[in-house]
Amino acid sequence: MKFKCIIVDDEPPATRILENYVSKVSFLEQVGVFNDSLKALEFLNSNKVDLIFLDIQMPQLTGLQISRIISKDIKVIFTTAYPDFALEGFELNAIDYLLKPISFERFYQAVSKLNIESKIEISSNSNSSDFIFVKTDGKNKFQKLFLDEILYVESLQNYVCIHTLKQQIITHSSLKNVIESLPEKDFIQIHKSYVIALKQLESTGSFSVFINAKELPIGATFKDAFFERIDQNKI
């Protein structure tokens, strides 16, 4: 499988380095290079892209702003000379955060996560199955999880922990990637670090929920949408 990617950076020397790196990776296909963030957005509106290498400090729109606008299906690797934005970048579920100057070794380490993340997938693209396969330790090792057994999913930066009725499974992925593999009608994000199974919800407070006697926080960003879902089932 090849991942279609674009490069967005207002510094031509930086784009040339990334173009060279992309050309060396067999599972990457470059489909665009942009020094203008608005032109990049125009391209994304009419073209399918799997991955974007995104500089943060740019005129007009910053990389962080762009990452909030684009489709959640597009993976993001931030490229920047400023380490100060790393935390915010990971909060936006970026695959990685590369500091300039970027070595090819560090670049390859980042893009290799694409293959890892693609291992978490629902057995049917329609989300009609009642189970998922989760990548565990070792090559081609997967574990079958029934959706009915999932209590909640917790983000651990570059990993997620899936809490079930029987066990906890940690896998190398982003919370965003897991959300896309779960049926929307049964799961909801309540915090930047938590997605819960609605059927496992025991009770709520104003700022937290309880699942299997565990208290989890409700983030301010997700509070309104969460309680709208609760209102749909109240009596």
* Per-run averaged pLDDT (10 residues), the chain, 235 residues: 90 94 93 94 91 90 86 87 61 78 93 67 48 72 87 88 90 83 90 94 94 94 91 75
Give the pLDDT of residue 82. 73
Residue 132's pLDDT is 83
Output the DSSP codes for the chain. --EEEEEE-S-HHHHHHHHHHHHT-TTEEEEEEES-HHHHHHHHHHS--SEEEEESS-SSS-HHHHHHHS-TTSEEEEEES-GGGHHHHHHTT-SEEEESSPPHHHHHHHHHHHHHHTT-EESSTTS-SSEEEEE-SSTT-EEEEEGGGEEEEEEETTEEEEEESS-EEEEES-HHHHHHHS-TTTEEEEETTEEEEGGGEEEE-SSEEEETTEEEEPPHHHHHHHHHHHHTT--
pLDDT at 91: 54
Q: In this predicted structure, what is the pLDDT of residue 126?
A: 39
pLDDT of residue 102: 93
